[in-house]
Structure 1
Amino acid sequence: VREEYRVSNRMLPSELLLHRYNGEAIVPKRLPINTGNIAIATDLIQLFQAAKGGTRGELNRQLQELEGEDTDYRIKRGLAHLLNGDAFSTFETISPLDPGDLRQRVFALSAQVSPSSQSTQSTLQKLADILTQELEREILPEQVRQGLYADLSENQILTNFEAPSPEALLHRYNLSQVQGVFYRASHVTLNAHRNDPGEYKLLFRYVKLFGLMTYIEGDADHGFTLTIDGPTSLFKLNTHYGLKLAMLLPALLHVTRWDLTATLQRKDAYSGKVQSGRFTLNSDCGLVTHYPPGKTYDSMLEAGFVDRWAKAKTEWQLEREVDLIPIPGSVMIPDFRLVHPDGRTFLLEIVGYWRPEYLKKKFAQVRQAGRDDLILAISERLNLEKAGVNFNDTSARLVWFKDQLSPKAVLSVLEDA
Structure 2
Amino acid sequence: MKLCRKIRAKFTLIIDVEIIMLTKDLLKFTVRTDKIFPKYLKPNDPEALLFARYLVDAYRAGKGMKLESLTEKIKQHPKSGSAVFGGLNKLLEDRCAYADSESEVEDRRWELFKKAKEIRNSGVMAISEFQTRVAEGTGIDFSRLESNLYGDLPEFRIVEDFEDIDPTDLIHRYNASQVQGLILRSRTLTMIVRDKDAVKKRRLLQRLKFWRLLAEIDEGADQLKIILSGPLSLFDKSATYGSRLSNFFPNLLLMDHWEIKAEI
Taking structure 1 as the reference length, the TM-score comes to 0.54
Does the 8 Å CA contact 2:80/2:86 hold for their aligned counterparts?
no
Does the 8 Å CA contact 2:74/2:80 hold for their aligned counterparts?
no
* 1:253 positional shift: 1.1
**Which residue in the other structure is 1:171 paired with?**
172
Does the 8 Å CA contact 2:148/2:156 hold for their aligned counterparts?
no
Q: How does 1:5-404 map to 2 (within 5 A)?
A: 5-7=15-17, 9-33=19-43, 34-66=45-77, 68=78, 70=79, 73-86=82-95, 89-93=96-100, 98-113=108-123, 118-119=126-127, 121-129=128-136, 131=137, 138-219=139-220, 221-236=221-236, 238-264=238-264
Does the 8 Å CA contact 1:195/1:255 hold for their aligned counterparts?
no
Distance (whole Å) between structure 1 residues aligned to residue 28 and residue 210 of structure 2: 28
Distance (whole Å) between structure 1 residues aligned to residue 180 and residue 188 of structure 2: 14
**Aligned length, in residue pairs:** 247
**Which residue in the other structure is 1:305 paired with?**
none
* 1:161 positional shift: 1.9
Aligned residue for 1:148, secondary structure, equals coil
* 1:75 positional shift: 1.0
* 1:194 positional shift: 4.4
Residues 57-79 of structure 1: CA deviation (Å, up to 9, x unaligned): 1112222332x4x4862111111
Distance (whole Å) between structure 2 residues aligned to residue 125 and residue 165 of structure 1: 46
Name the structure with the higher strand share.
1
Residues 266-324 of structure 1: CA deviation (Å, up to 9, x unaligned): xxxxxxxxxxxxxxxxxxxxxxxxxxxxxxxxxxxxxxxxxxxxxxxxxxxxxxxxxxx
Percent identity, aligned pairs only, is 25
Equivalent position amino acid for 2:16 in 1 = R
Equivalent position amino acid for 1:52 in 2 = K
Aligned residue for 1:248, secondary structure, equals helix
Residues 113-155 of structure 1: CA deviation (Å, up to 9, x unaligned): 45x9x42x322311322x25xxxxx432233223322222221
Does the 8 Å CA contact 1:99/1:150 hold for their aligned counterparts?
no
Equivalent position amino acid for 1:182 in 2 = I
Distance (whole Å) between structure 2 residues aligned to residue 187 and residue 38 of structure 1: 34
Taking structure 2 as the reference length, the TM-score comes to 0.83
Does the 8 Å CA contact 2:41/2:48 hold for their aligned counterparts?
yes
Task: Please list every run of 5 or more consecutive structure 2 residues that lacks an aligned counterpart in the other structure.
Answer: 1-13
Distance (whole Å) between structure 1 residues aligned to residue 94 and residue 47 of structure 2: 24
The answer to which structure, 1 or 2, has the higher relative contact order (CA under 8 A, 6+ apart) is 2
Name the structure with the higher helix share.
2
Task: Please list every run of 5 or more consecutive structure 1 residues that lacks an aligned counterpart in the other structure.
Answer: 133-137, 265-417
* 1:92 positional shift: 1.9
Equivalent position amino acid for 2:239 in 1 = T
Distance (whole Å) between structure 2 residues aligned to residue 190 and residue 214 of structure 1: 10
Q: 1:195 to 1:124 in 2, by over 3 A?
A: farther
Does the 8 Å CA contact 1:99/1:148 hold for their aligned counterparts?
yes
